[in-house]
Amino acid sequence: MNTHPPLPELDIAGLETVYDALATAIDQAGPEKSELFLVKLALLNAQALGDASRFLAQVQAALQDL
Protein backbone atom coordinates (compact mmCIF):
# COMPACT_ATOMS: atom_id res chain seq x y z
CA MET A 1 0.00 0.00 0.00
CA ASN A 2 1.40 3.42 -1.00
CA THR A 3 1.18 5.82 1.93
CA HIS A 4 2.71 8.76 0.09
CA PRO A 5 0.68 11.48 -1.58
CA PRO A 6 1.23 11.56 -5.34
CA LEU A 7 4.02 13.71 -6.71
CA PRO A 8 3.56 15.84 -9.80
CA GLU A 9 4.68 14.07 -12.97
CA LEU A 10 6.62 15.39 -15.93
CA ASP A 11 4.93 15.30 -19.30
CA ILE A 12 6.73 13.84 -22.33
CA ALA A 13 8.28 17.20 -23.25
CA GLY A 14 9.59 17.60 -19.70
CA LEU A 15 11.04 14.09 -19.71
CA GLU A 16 12.75 14.77 -23.04
CA THR A 17 14.25 17.98 -21.64
CA VAL A 18 15.54 16.14 -18.56
CA TYR A 19 16.90 13.27 -20.69
CA ASP A 20 18.77 15.68 -22.97
CA ALA A 21 20.23 17.60 -20.02
CA LEU A 22 21.27 14.36 -18.31
CA ALA A 23 22.91 12.97 -21.45
CA THR A 24 24.81 16.23 -21.96
CA ALA A 25 25.95 16.32 -18.34
CA ILE A 26 27.14 12.68 -18.47
CA ASP A 27 29.13 13.49 -21.60
CA GLN A 28 30.53 16.60 -19.93
CA ALA A 29 31.60 14.60 -16.85
CA GLY A 30 33.41 12.12 -19.09
CA PRO A 31 33.79 8.38 -18.66
CA GLU A 32 36.14 8.69 -15.68
CA LYS A 33 33.72 10.87 -13.68
CA SER A 34 30.27 9.87 -14.96
CA GLU A 35 29.63 7.39 -12.14
CA LEU A 36 30.58 9.97 -9.51
CA PHE A 37 28.37 12.54 -11.24
CA LEU A 38 25.38 10.16 -11.21
CA VAL A 39 25.85 9.37 -7.51
CA LYS A 40 26.06 13.08 -6.66
CA LEU A 41 22.97 13.78 -8.77
CA ALA A 42 21.05 10.95 -7.08
CA LEU A 43 21.96 12.24 -3.61
CA LEU A 44 20.98 15.80 -4.50
CA ASN A 45 17.66 14.56 -5.86
CA ALA A 46 17.07 12.43 -2.76
CA GLN A 47 17.64 15.50 -0.63
CA ALA A 48 15.28 17.55 -2.82
CA LEU A 49 12.67 14.78 -2.63
CA GLY A 50 12.96 14.85 1.15
CA ASP A 51 11.76 11.27 1.70
CA ALA A 52 14.15 8.32 2.01
CA SER A 53 11.44 5.69 1.50
CA ARG A 54 10.32 7.31 -1.77
CA PHE A 55 13.91 7.47 -2.93
CA LEU A 56 14.43 3.79 -2.09
CA ALA A 57 11.32 2.93 -4.09
CA GLN A 58 12.75 4.87 -7.04
CA VAL A 59 16.04 2.94 -6.73
CA GLN A 60 14.10 -0.34 -6.95
CA ALA A 61 12.11 0.92 -9.93
CA ALA A 62 15.32 1.92 -11.72
CA LEU A 63 16.79 -1.56 -11.18
CA GLN A 64 13.88 -3.20 -12.99
CA ASP A 65 14.60 -4.59 -16.46
CA LEU A 66 18.27 -3.54 -16.62
pLDDT of 61 reads: 94
Q: What pTM was computed for the model?
A: 0.81
Is the Cβ–Cβ distance between 14 and 7 less than 8 Å? no
Contacts 24+ apart (CB under 8 A), 11-16: none
Stretch among 3-7, 24-28, 49-53, 55-59 having the lowest mean pLDDT = 3-7
> Closest Cα partner for 41 from 6, 12, 13, 28?
28
Checking if the pLDDT of 12 tops 90, the result is yes
| Domain layout of the chain by residue ranges | 35-66
Please give the mean pLDDT across all residues of the chain: 93
